[in-house]
Amino acid sequence: MTGNKLNIFKLGQENIRILHYTWFAFFMTFVVWLGLGPMMPFIKEALDLTDQQAKVLLILNVAMTIPARIIVGMLVDRLGPRIMYTSILVLGGLISIAFAWAEGYEELALLRFLSGFIGAGFVVGIRMISEWFPAKQTGLAQGIYGGWGNFGSAGAAMTLPFIAVGMGDVDGWRYALTFASIAAIIYGLIYFFIVSDTPKGSTYFKSKKMGAMEVTSTGDLILYILMNIPLFLALAVLTWKLSPAQMGMIDQITTYVIYAVLATLYLVQVWKIWHVNGHIINKPVPELHRYKFKQVAILNWSYFVTFGTELAVVSMLAMFYVEWFDIPKITAALLAGIYPFINLFARPGGGWLSDVIGRKKTLIIVFLGITVSFLVLGNVHNEWPVWMVVTITIFAGIFSKAGSGAVYAMVPLVQRRMTGQIAGMAGAFGNVGAVTFLTVNSLVDYDLFFMVIGITSAIVFFLILFVLEEPAGQIAETLPDGTVQMIDVK
C-alpha cells in the first residue's frame, strides 16, 4: 500500500484481514438486530399480533440502541474492540434466541427492547479500524466497514424469510432467527481468536476516565451537557408514541414515570460529566492536549441527518410508492429495495472521497446533495412519473449514505484515545435522527416529511461550511508512561 491506495484483496496484509473480519462482525450484528423487520409478517401471523403490537416491537427494537452506543463507546475505549465485539455477538445472539422462543407478548417486548443493544456493535469496529489503518486510508477503510456491514440488514431480508418458509410450519420464524443467532455467537467466538486490538508493537490509547467523555475547555463542557439533551428527548418521544396520546400501549401513570426516570437519568449524566471534567474550570488543560468539542457536536448532527435519514426512508419508502403512485406492493417493495443496496458503494465512496479531497470538503459536497435532493422530493406530486421520483430518491440515498461514510472518516481524527466514545455519541445521534424523522412521518404527509429532512440538512450544511474545521496535521496523544507522541492525521 502506498499513498491513499487501499487494496482490499491483499489478504496477506494483516490490516486487510482485520478489515474483512470486522465488517463481517458488524454484518452479523445487523442480521440479528434488523432481522426483525423481514420476520415481522411471520411473527405477526404466527402469534396473532395486532398492528399496534407489531409496531411497538419495531419501535422497541431501536430504543435501547441510543444509550447502548454511548455505553459501548466508553467500554471499547477501555476494554478494546476484540473483547467488546465478541461480547456483543455472543450475548446478543443469546438474547435473540430467547426472543425467538418467547410466547407471551410482554416477554417478546422485553427481549426485543434488550436486543436493541446489538446495534451498538457498529461503534466497536470504528475503533478497531482506526487502530489498524493510517489517517490517509481511514476514510475508505471506515466506509467499507460501515457500508458492507450495514448490508447485514439486506442480508437478513434476503435469507431469513426463505428459511422461515422452508421450515414449513408456523414456527419457521423461530428457527430462522435461531439459526442467525447461533451463527452470530459462533462468529463472535471466532473473532476473539483471529484479531488483536492493535498491530504488533502499537499502543492502545485508553480514555483516562469512565462515565463521560473528557472535554478540554469550559465552553466545551457546557456544549457537551447540552448535546446530551437530544439523546434523552428521543427516548421521551418513543415513550410518547407508546402513551395513551398515541398508540395507547402504556397507561398515563407509566408514561409519567418513564418521563421522570429519563429526567433523573439526564441529571445523573450531567453529574458524571461534571465529575469527569469539572476540574478544567480551575485548572485549564494545556493547549497541546486540547481538542474542540464543536467538532464532535457537528459530526453528531451530521450523522443525525445521514443515518437518521437512511433508517427513516427505508422504513417508509415502499408505502410512499404505493400510496402516492398506486403501484403494486411487490413492485413498490422492489423499487424501495434499491435503497439499502446503495450502501455497498456509496458509504465507502464517501470515505474514499474524504481521503482524497479532505474531510470538510467532502461533507460540504454530500450535504449539498442531501439538501437539494430532499428539497426536490419535498415538492413531489403524484402526477410526477414514478421513474423520476425513484431516480431522485436514489440520488438522495447516494448522498446520505456517502455522508455517513464521510462522517466516520473524520470521527477517528478528532481525539484518537476517545474514538469509541466519539463514535458512540455520533452513532446514537443517528438513531435519534431516525426516531425524529419517523415521528415526523407519522404526523405529516410524505412531501412535508421529505421537506423537513431537506431543511434539517440545510441547517447542518451551514454548520459544516462555517463552523467545522478540517483536522489538523497532527494530534497529541499521551502514552501510558506519560510521554507525549504526535500522531500524523494527514
Going from the N-terminus, what domains does the chain have, and what CATH number goes with each? 8-202 (1.20.1250.20)
Cα dihedral 392, 394, 397, 402 in deg (nearest 10):
-110
pLDDT above 90 coverage of the chain, percent: 48
List Cα–Cα distances, 423 to 12, 122, 224, 290, 399, in angstroms. 29, 9, 15, 18, 20
Of the CA atoms within 13 Å of residue 30, those in its CB half-sphere come to 26
Q: Cell numbers 457537528 correspond to what residue?
A: 298
Please give the residue that has the higher pLDDT: either 223 or 70: 223
- The residue type found at 421 is Q
Angle (nearest 5°) at CA 199 between 194 and 201: 130
Going by pLDDT thresholds of 50, 70 and 90, the confidence category of residue 65 is: confident
Residues in the chain: 490
pLDDT above 70 coverage of the chain, percent: 93
Min mean pLDDT across 164-173, 397-406, 475-484 is at 475-484
Give the model's pLDDT for residue 490.
52
332 Cβ contact partners less than 8 Å away, ≥ 6 residues apart: 318, 319, 321, 322
Distance of alpha carbon 127 from alpha carbon 422, whole angstroms: 10
Tell me the pLDDT tens digit for each residue of 186-240. 999 999 999 999 888 787 777 666 668 889 899 999 999 999 999 999 999 989 9
Task: Tell me if 172 sits within 8 A of 166, measured CB to CB.
Answer: yes
Give the model's pLDDT for residue 478.
47
What's the whole-number mean pLDDT along residues 247-255? 87
Please give the residue that has the higher pLDDT: either 479 or 96: 96
Distance of alpha carbon 465 from alpha carbon 38, whole angstroms: 39
* CB count in 10 Å sphere of residue 69: 29
52 Cβ contact partners less than 8 Å away, ≥ 6 residues apart: 247, 248, 249
Tell me the pLDDT tens digit for each residue of 395-442. 999 999 999 999 999 998 888 778 888 988 999 999 899 888 888 888
Phi and psi at residue 373, to the nearest 5°: -60, -45
Please choose, from the candidates 139, 122, 134, the residue with its C-alpha nearest in 3D space to the C-alpha of residue 73: 122
Going by pLDDT thresholds of 50, 70 and 90, the confidence category of residue 480 is: very low
Please choose, from the candidates 214, 217, 228, the residue with its C-alpha nearest in 3D space to the C-alpha of residue 78: 214
Min mean pLDDT across 15-24, 75-84, 197-206, 304-313 is at 197-206
Distance of alpha carbon 218 from alpha carbon 20, whole angstroms: 41
In the predicted structure, residue 4 carries a pLDDT above the cut 60: no
- The residue type found at 87 is S
In the predicted structure, residue 293 carries a pLDDT above the cut 70: yes
Distance of alpha carbon 308 from alpha carbon 32, whole angstroms: 20
Phi and psi at residue 474, to the nearest 5°: -145, 155
9: three-class secondary structure by DSSP: coil
Distance of alpha carbon 250 from alpha carbon 257, whole angstroms: 11
In the predicted structure, residue 182 carries a pLDDT above the cut 80: yes
Please give the residue that has the higher pLDDT: either 35 or 403: 403
* CB count in 10 Å sphere of residue 2: 4
Q: Is 394 exposed, middle or buried (0-12, 13-18, 19+ CB in 10 A)?
A: middle
Average pLDDT, the chain: 87
Min mean pLDDT across 12-21, 335-344, 372-381 is at 335-344
What's the whole-number mean pLDDT along residues 9-32? 92
* CB count in 10 Å sphere of residue 306: 31
Angle (nearest 5°) at CA 258 between 315 and 274: 100
Whole-model pTM: value is 0.83
Write out the H or E segment, with its range, that includes residue 392: helix 386-410
* CB count in 10 Å sphere of residue 374: 27
Distance of alpha carbon 43 from alpha carbon 175, whole angstroms: 12
199 Cβ contact partners less than 8 Å away, ≥ 6 residues apart: 14, 15, 131, 132
C-alpha cell at 233: 428527548
What's the whole-number mean pLDDT along residues 28-49? 86
Please give the residue that has the higher pLDDT: either 488 or 84: 84
